[in-house]
Amino acid sequence: MRWGARRLTWVVPYFGYQTMERAVRPQESVVAKARARLISSIPAAPEGNRVVLVDLHAAGIAYYFEGSTPAFHVYGKSLVFEAARAFAGSDPFVLAAPDAGRAKWVQSLADDLQVPASFASKRRDAGGGTRVTGLDADVRGQTVVIYDDMIRSGSTLLGAARAFRDAGASRCFAVTTHLVLPPGAREALFADGLLAGVAGSDTHPRAESVTDDPRFTVRSIAPVLGRWLQQG
């Protein structure tokens, strides 16, 4: 602003701590909200500040920003569509969610693609892990493309892929927006042969680490952000 900027736009392709959007223990800090408030405290330019966020884990995070700093939630639908169609080729496919939490969003994507949707039901066991307990669609002989907003360790995704393969799916692919991929995740995703390929965007820096791996497809988020900025 010292140099005459009329407006400041903060483009945040991957909003850190977005899975920490609520407190689960007494007196626990809601870290996503704390980070949003920090960004909101940046002095405003004459025409205001704004924040652009991509495919948030919880849509309500956009409302954690305060004062004269509105947040805009941009969806990477077009990249999901491209990836799903590329994986399926000319074959019909089912768009799936790895758990019930993503079911509503995956149903919306499937409606736009005009393909069937499915999701896996899971239950937390006594040891703190999770296991898939059922599927809501017949996937026998089908290509299944599983969508989740981010891939970290991949355990939830792999549990769903195993369930779909056990139910008769001919092959499974995974599509995500954020390839977070902590150490070991890259190897774990393909260790059991459950997934035939993984696609994501370059919102997270670790996506660059798999661009040389033919099992991964990484698409640029820049066109999605560019279109929004031109319109906004």
Q: Which helix (H) or strand (E) holds 229?
A: helix 222-231
Among all residues, which ones are annotated catalytic?
Answer: 122
Find out whether 52 and 225 touch, Cβ atoms under 8 Å.
yes
Phi, psi of 128 (to 5 degrees): 95, -10
Alpha carbons 202 and 200: distance in angstroms, whole number: 7
Residue type, 84: A
Tokens representing 55 are 């495919």
Phi, psi of 19 (to 5 degrees): -85, -5
Residues counted in the chain: 232
Phi, psi of 166 (to 5 degrees): -65, -30
> How far is the CA of 231 from the CAs of 7, 19, 109, 226, 228, in angstroms?
15, 29, 22, 9, 5
For strand 117-124 and strand 130-135, is the pairing parallel, antiparallel, or unpaired? antiparallel
- Name the packing angle between helices 222-231 and 77-88 (round to 10°): 140
Residue type, 228: W
